[in-house]
Chain A
Amino acid sequence: MFRFAMKMAWASLARRATRSLMVVLMISVSLWSLLLMQGVYDGMTEQMINNAIRSDSGDVSLFRRGYRLDPSLENVIPDTFPDGRKVEDVLGMDGRVGSFVKRLQQNGVVATARYSRNIMIYGVALAAEKKHGQLQRYLLTGHYGFGAKRKGAIVGYRLAERLHVTVGSKLILSCQNSSSDVVSISVRVNGILKTNNMSFDEGSVFIDLDLAEDFFGVHQGVSQISVMMNEGKDIGELQLALQQSFPGLDVMRWDEMYPALMQSRVIMNGFKSVVSLIIFGVSGLGILGVMMVSIIERRREIGIMLALGTEFSQIRIMVLIESLIMGFSGFVAGSLLGWVSLLYFRSYGLDLSMFSEAFEEFGMDAVTYALIQPGYFLSAFTAILSAAVISVYFPLRIVSKVIPARIINEI
């Protein structure tokens, strides 16, 4: 009987082919566009998070307790703790850790002949940063290095714009060293970075870690240790373990350092729920409309079926099958279009350079690489399936009111 109900349902849809196709088209186009939006927005958010993790926080960052409130050179993580333990050793032996880098940083001033700005001076080991967060990939112009004499610097592109400097320009860096003396050094711009992490692009100068140690007068310790995990799922576990091992340190996850980015992800999840709701609404209303008209048109046919001994439950199955065929066809077509489009934008990116200034204000890349997650399709499928099932409620109420004895005698 199921096959027969399927045939009846299919035949009914085919009889109103244009109308059925319009609903399928409506579901598939809306699903397509919403999948695309989801994938691109998710891509944007994840790119922002990825930029922040790669350029700064890592998956987990370690600071001396109190450093975040008072980022002075007094609050550095010592190379060796009084009990003889070293953070480096602990991290080096932990299989969950993929890589880690040490950074020494101090607030300071950068000046050219004409301009000056408050900045953060980062002492970094470029080779380690390359392996750690692939910092070299953010290089906009120049060279990824500090030169043979290690007197070079790498600056953020926004800072370079504001100081009107290019590769080769001379900069004077000034700061207060560990002895509270104001000290200065001159460096030349070797490279310009564009990370789309605004704090870096607007207010950072990277210099060699050894040079920074001399410059800041700190030879024992670093301000931050950034850790990348082999697997993201271990972040919480490692954070807890490190926090217990080193109670004098603040061990922070990336989302604790960048709560706004985490919020973006939460907003994205909310957006996904809204997307599912829209898909549910569009599918539900589309199917409801067609099924209502279809049932009203077929009152006579249904009356005959009931008169011949068809049970209401069998009519319900037939109506449900019709609704599911439309919903499922829309889902397949929309998902296929969405998947192909997302696949394209995942490989080639969505180039929104024309809005790049606006995007960059928010720390977003001008070219967004879409994400494809099975969850998009699963939630869309659930939404469409629910819509298809729920939207037959009212048409079935019409069916339940059909009186076969009256219908069959209508000529």
Chain B
Amino acid sequence: MTAFLTVRHIAKSFHLDKDVTVSALRDINLDIDRGEFVVISGPSGSGKTTLLNIIGGLDVPDSGEVILDGLKLTGLSERSLSRVRRDHIGFVFQAYNLLPVLTARENIEYVMRLQGVKGERCRIRSAEISEKLGIVSLLDKLPNQLSGGQQQRVAVARSVAATPRLVLADEPTANLDSKSAIALIDMMEKLNQEEGVTVIFSSHDPMVIGKARRSVVLKDGKLVANNAI
């Protein structure tokens, strides 16, 4: 059976200077099935963010290919990648990255609006997801009126509101205290189970890593472990 997400021979390097090139990823191969709850771990600079960016179509690899649910992402135009991100992938960022001029509700509805979902349906869905994540009271607030933990919960709600097939979360707990971090991962796991969405997140916090059901470990741009927990 074909995997939901296939990463084949991915390599990526960055040119820091004329003569200095850093290999961020080297020949990464990875298969992830639908509905998995996967953590990518490894020390800083191991290539976690680069790998997530490539899987999410935010960056292109130097070589190799990414196939998401049968769709080959490598080689797609910028416009097509935008549409893949909009329609199939939800993102949670380390720095929350809520749109500052929109309320929490509008942030949650943002991707649905991009998809052209009508206002009433957007509101029903945002209410449903907010209920599930316990953030109903935050919906009318602007991001600068929310704490870090609250912002990240809104960001998680935004990532799943448009019912993507895949949620990518890059160090979602890095800016949170340990209690909030565990609560957030629990919340993501709940969504993974209830919404059936595949979740891949990165972290180097052992407590958070322990919550995943599968662990992929990177070191110096190489995949060094890929185990079920």
Contacts and interface: CB of A to CB of B under 8 A. Distances in A.
Nearest to A11: B101
A163 interface: no
Given A405-B53, A409-B49, A309 B87 contact: yes
Contacts of A309: 82-87, 89, 111, 114
Contacts of B205: none
B37 interface: no
A93 interface: no
A355 interface: no
Interface residues of A, number: 25
B95 A310 contact: no
A300 B96 CA distance: 12
Interface in B68-123: 78-79, 82-87, 89, 91, 93-95, 97-102, 106, 110-111, 113-114, 116
A310 B101 contact: no
A304 interface: yes
Nearest to B174: A411
Contact of A304 (B86, B99, B175): B99
Interface string A233-260: 0000000000000000000000000000
Interface centre among B53, B79, B100, B101 (most CB of A within 10 A): B101
B176 to A, nearest CB: 13
A12 B79 CA distance: 25
A300 B101 CA distance: 12
A187 interface: no
B170 interface: yes
A300 B106 CA distance: 18
B107 to A, nearest CB: 10
Interface residues of B, number: 32
B129 to A, nearest CB: 16
Contacts of A12: 101
B55 to A, nearest CB: 12
A8 interface: yes
A1 B101 contact: no
Interface in A359-411: 404-405, 408-411
A4 B170 CA distance: 27
Interface in A1-45: 1, 4, 7-8, 11-12, 15
B59 interface: yes
A307 B85 contact: yes
B116 A408 contact: no
A1 B114 contact: yes
A15 B87 CA distance: 30
A311 B82 contact: yes
Interface string A158-201: 00000000000000000000000000000000000000000000
A8 B102 CA distance: 8
A133 B175 CA distance: 86
B58 interface: yes
B99 A305 contact: yes
Contacts of A314: 114
A12 B85 CA distance: 24
A310 B58 contact: no
Interface string A282-321: 0000000000000000001100111111111010000000
Given A11-B102, A411-B94, A306 B170 contact: no
Contacts of B113: 1, 4
Contact of A405 (B59, B82, B100): B59
B21 to A, nearest CB: 17
Contact of A310 (B82, B98, B175): B82
B7 to A, nearest CB: 17
A408 B82 contact: no
Given A301-B100, A410-B95, A308 B59 contact: no
A405 B53 CA distance: 7
Interface of B: 49, 53, 58-59, 78-79, 82-87, 89, 91, 93-95, 97-102, 106, 110-111, 113-114, 116, 158, 170, 175
Given A12-B101, A309-B84, 6 more contacts: A304-B93, A308-B110, A309-B83, A309-B87, A309-B89, A408-B91
17 contacts: A8-B101, A15-B100, A304-B93, A304-B99, A308-B110, A308-B158, A309-B82, A309-B84, A309-B85, A309-B89, A309-B114, A311-B82, A314-B114, A405-B58, A408-B91, A408-B93, A411-B95
The 7 A-B residue pairs with the shortest CB-CB distance, nearest first, are A309-B86, A11-B101, A309-B85, A405-B58, A405-B59, A304-B97, A405-B53
